Amino acid sequence: MGLHRGGPYGHHLPSRQRRRPSKGSLLVHASTCRSGIAPALRLALSLEGQDRRSSFYRPEIDGLRAVAVLAVLLFHAHLGIFQGGFAGVDIFFVISGYLITGIVLRDGGGRFDTMRFYMNRARRILPALIAMLGISLLLALLLPRPAAVASFGGSLAAAALFVANIFFWQQGAGYFDQVASEMPLMHLWSLSVEEQFYLLFPPLLALSLRGSWKRAAWLIGVPLLLSFGLAELLSATRPAANYYLLPTRAWELLAGAAVALAEHRYGRVRMSAAWSDAGGAAGAV
């Protein structure tokens, strides 16, 4: 129903023709957002960071993150051979779910400091987000079209409140549609999805870990299956909602969470370098 066309979000796949922004599109959109720089930076800055000094540091995750950023950049460069580069966003969702679950698991659930987590998260993303929104606002004020500035103001407020995904869904604008050239902050939809997930999932996971680990498995597994099923169900009938909203994106974050929980319970799966390299090559393809 969609998997053969790029997963449950296949109905939002771009056409082979490049989108050409109209003359009224924002300067910041034409110069950075559509080139892929802003979306790639959004991905790189928002992901839960790793402490390289920690014994839990995973260099391969940083490598995968770099591949995802490069994929997004190449996709927005409109190179025909990188039509699937937008899947870098999906990779980041999985990595984000894996990392945040690992943080909660290492804190033992009951010792997880929710307030400290949210403060650390704010310190990580707010400086870059505020700078991006501020520069975008200054450029928007240069527009001679009041209606365009008013529309931009709505997306600015939505991005600041981490509900950009809901805003763009209500606007009925697909990420790959021509009208997206008028919406320079559209790439912030995925940041909103992450923050909505982070608002709900870590405290619930911490509570579930106070009992049996099986509770955590149920907390992750059941919503994962429901979210994936909903994404497949809505891929043809409600493509915009399917693409932007947390209920149909949560399964990607929860897939990463499931890997983290399995690793915590059973340990890492060891494999030879040859198999590891082969798997990495297959994933890249």
pLDDT given for residue 90 in this prediction: 87
Q: Is 145 left (phi over 0), alpha (psi -120 to 50) or beta?
A: beta
Least confident segment among 75-79, 134-138, 198-202? 75-79
Average pLDDT over residues 139-152: 74
Least confident segment among 183-192, 237-246, 250-259? 183-192
Give dist(CA 128, CA 214) in Å, integer.
38
The answer to the question of residue 14 being in a domain is: no
The answer to the question of residue 59 being in a domain is: no
Using the Cα atoms of residue 215, residue 213, residue 91 and residue 21 in order, give the sign of their dihedral.
positive
The answer to the question of residue 152 being in a domain is: yes
pLDDT for residue 194 is more than 90: yes
Give the count of beta carbons closer than 10 Å to the beta carbon of residue 30. Answer: 15
The answer to the question of residue 251 being in a domain is: yes
The answer to the question of residue 39 being in a domain is: no
- How many domains does the structure of the chain reveal? 1
Domain that holds residue 212: 95-284
Of 174, 61, 48, 182, the C-alpha closest to 118 is 48
pLDDT given for residue 200 in this prediction: 95
pLDDT for residue 2 is more than 50: no
Residue 64 vs residues 102, 162, 280, 283: alpha-carbon distances, Å: 17, 25, 9, 10
Provide, for the chain, the percentages of residues in helix, strand and coil under a 3-state DSSP scheme, each rounded to the nearest 5: 75, 0, 25
The answer to the question of residue 47 being in a domain is: no
pLDDT given for residue 205 in this prediction: 94
Give dist(CA 103, CA 75) in Å, integer.
31
The answer to the question of residue 99 being in a domain is: yes
The answer to the question of residue 34 being in a domain is: no
pLDDT for residue 245 is more than 90: yes
